[in-house]
Structure 1
């Protein structure tokens, strides 16, 4: 039996400890079992591995590099800050890592269409890209608030041939987009596959998306050794659902000397409805087909959430993130809107890299802890996406600083 954490988790029913599983309507049990079987059948097949390797190298542009943030490090005055540059992955974020693989899986199953939700639009753009590449139909559900806020990504999805469904229920953000996409999938599951955009949802999606994203962590581990001839002291990533975090954590999870930090959005503050910090303020509960830690209102329903980062304003968190936090393998950091915007401008003006607002949460937290660490210590940040989608929103609401940081 392997001693590897990844080989041992989840169990055969999709549980990470008490978190995870599959809580779905009876009509979906057969199609989800079909997806699980198909994934288990193809994940180790030479044909699938070679096709994915080819796509990653010759289409996505992998491996993405690690950059030493020299100016940001000097500005903070402590530990050395490195960036895993998923912003340089094709489509501008880590999401394509699992989207290309999910569409290969859909093709293997004989499906003609992919359906998904999106928050910031990066998953939607990535899935529309993958669908175009492999010749499948694509339907993306997106909350009305995010459609307006992330307009450039909406245009990209449409240019790529996707149908964008604007969701006007509830708070009109990510949770409602998931609800809508799941409802659409129930109507079309024989011809379509639901391509979940994070390490959330019923089994096998938390496992599948983690496995497909683990390329980030395994690349980063080897690349970091080339820079420092050792492993980083801390690996930092933002957490909404947690796909970019699990992707980079996967490469270091068996290296107990490496601290793993998931940074949650504190938004406007600790009041319920002003943040999306599920691990910090949530409790155990089932939502969207899986058991995890979630933010609840007084009636025990998913609470309203908020973050300046549209991709991380989700009232729950991936079950593996909940499990790793409960066992102490990961810790949780917090970053509010003001800190995220400050990091957005700092990285832009000090390093020439405009980060996604979601990724800026991780950058902000790294800047904060770097100042408390020794200069021979190191922090690796998963720069999960670029900020092209956010520039109009940020500049309109948070004026560009007059002077460099």
Structure 2
């Protein structure tokens, strides 16, 4: 018998087909091998599983529910829209699912400090939270542009005891934060561990983060059956690096009748520098230690990218997303800034749920998709985070609508 998909990919070297792997400086080979070995040791251990179950149930607030968006469904006049409510996870996003697990791994390795990058600040807040809970130091690298844009999350990280380090080179956003965090980790691999915030980076992180996030998909599968007595026809999630998407896709990947949509940010347009739609407009390339599909400039370097959602403005994408798209298992959707803001306000005013701008991209695409489908079809959206962090930015730049409709 063939092994299940999640046991088959990636291979021993971290490849999903031709994507993935580990392309890192020699001084990082041993530390990353150490992380991989530790993960293989503890992932099936009774103690690790019990610790993770305990913290998820009694601290994070899992399982998160599925909500039927009845008013949004009525507004779209098409397929029924359901929301997997990761915004109700402690810290307000899905990121804590892998951060708690990564910090348990760090403690297993005897590390004293966790280092990470963050875009919208959700991963930074989640890691700072996990570090506080488990008693480790925490250092978060964040682009200077995003520090100004996501001020509430920066304050949260500092209150939680994390050191926030601005990335001041290049475009001063997520890519530069990753560069900065990698450099800091290189300087102290003995006492620290780099806790990557998505299904990106060198092996084993795309696999590890997917595995830790798969709780979303497995919960959602069981919960959706309770709602509809069948699986969803479509599953929709936003994709930057793609951790929330791989998390929810994991629960349905073996069910070929379920369409899986990864929604990319089209931003302001189709020109390089106006969007972050790597799967749509990119090509194969290596960046930040892994081979995937990435946006390149005329010199073959990572291209400048843009999105209103700071957590998804990244010039590449998780290698598993590249593989699944190439294999035809997933489809790619697009949502531009204006559609995302419209979804932000529509979900807020019709359902009483203020979504993160990143999650609003998934909602915006789901609204478009719903209108093309009959009302006996269903769409399950990964609502990856709440929008507290975005409200000041949105209302300053996009006036609150006078009417819900």
Query: Counterpart of 1:69?
Result: 69
Q: Distance in 1 between the 2:158 and 2:259 partners?
A: 40
Structure 2 residue matching 1:332: 3-state secondary structure: strand
Structure 1 residue matching 2:246: 3-state secondary structure: helix
Query: Counterpart of 1:85?
Result: 85
Q: Distance in 1 between the 2:201 and 2:278 partners?
A: 15
Q: Distance in 1 between the 2:285 and 2:27 partners?
A: 22
- By how many angstroms is 1:339 displaced? 0.1
Structure 1 residue matching 2:140: 3-state secondary structure: strand
Query: Counterpart of 1:397?
Result: 397
Query: Counterpart of 2:226?
Result: 226
Query: Counterpart of 2:186?
Result: 186
Q: Distance in 2 between the 1:27 and 1:179 partners?
A: 16
Q: Spell out the pairing of 1:36-115 with structure 2 (5 A cutoff).
A: 36-115=36-115
Structure 2 residue matching 1:244: 3-state secondary structure: helix
Query: Counterpart of 1:325?
Result: 325
Query: Counterpart of 2:263?
Result: 263
Q: Distance in 2 between the 1:34 and 1:241 partners?
A: 24
Q: Spell out the pairing of 1:18-33 with structure 2 (5 A cutoff).
A: 18-33=18-33
Structure 1 residue matching 2:215: 3-state secondary structure: helix
Q: Distance in 1 between the 2:404 and 2:359 partners?
A: 20
- Structure 1: stretches of 5+ with no match in the other structure: none
**Is 1:305 aligned with 2:305?**
yes
**Residues 146-184 of structure 1, C-alpha deviation per residue, up to 9 Å, x if partnerless?**
000000000000000000001110000000000000000
- By how many angstroms is 1:91 displaced? 0.1
Q: Distance in 1 between the 2:369 and 2:139 partners?
A: 41
Query: Counterpart of 1:373?
Result: 373
Q: Distance in 2 between the 1:145 and 1:124 partners?
A: 15
Q: Distance in 2 between the 1:186 and 1:354 partners?
A: 38
Q: Distance in 2 between the 1:178 and 1:242 partners?
A: 15
Q: Distance in 2 between the 1:326 and 1:404 partners?
A: 39
Q: Distance in 2 between the 1:108 and 1:3 partners?
A: 29
Query: Counterpart of 2:336?
Result: 336
Structure 2 residue matching 1:188: 3-state secondary structure: coil
- By how many angstroms is 1:28 displaced? 0.7
**Is 1:384 aligned with 2:388?**
no
Structure 1 residue matching 2:214: 3-state secondary structure: helix
- By how many angstroms is 1:2 displaced? 5.0
Q: Distance in 1 between the 2:243 and 2:367 partners?
A: 22
**Residues 22-49 of structure 1, C-alpha deviation per residue, up to 9 Å, x if partnerless?**
0000111111000000000000000000
Q: How many residues align?
A: 405
Query: Counterpart of 2:123?
Result: 123
- By how many angstroms is 1:330 displaced? 0.1
Query: Counterpart of 1:137?
Result: 137
Query: Counterpart of 1:154?
Result: 154
Query: Counterpart of 1:286?
Result: 286
Q: Distance in 2 between the 1:193 and 1:363 partners?
A: 34
Structure 1 residue matching 2:94: 3-state secondary structure: coil
Q: Distance in 1 between the 2:180 and 2:70 partners?
A: 44
Q: Distance in 2 between the 1:275 and 1:403 partners?
A: 29
Q: Distance in 1 between the 2:101 and 2:382 partners?
A: 21
Query: Counterpart of 1:199?
Result: 199
Q: Distance in 2 between the 1:28 and 1:241 partners?
A: 21
Q: Distance in 2 between the 1:323 and 1:346 partners?
A: 33
- By how many angstroms is 1:3 displaced? 2.8
Structure 1 residue matching 2:187: 3-state secondary structure: helix
**Residues 223-254 of structure 1, C-alpha deviation per residue, up to 9 Å, x if partnerless?**
00000000000000000000000000000000
Q: Relative to 1, partners in 2 of residues 1:105 and 1:2: Cα closer, same or farther, differing over 3 Å?
A: farther
- Structure 2: stretches of 5+ with no match in the other structure: none
- By how many angstroms is 1:404 displaced? 1.2
Structure 2 residue matching 1:6: 3-state secondary structure: helix
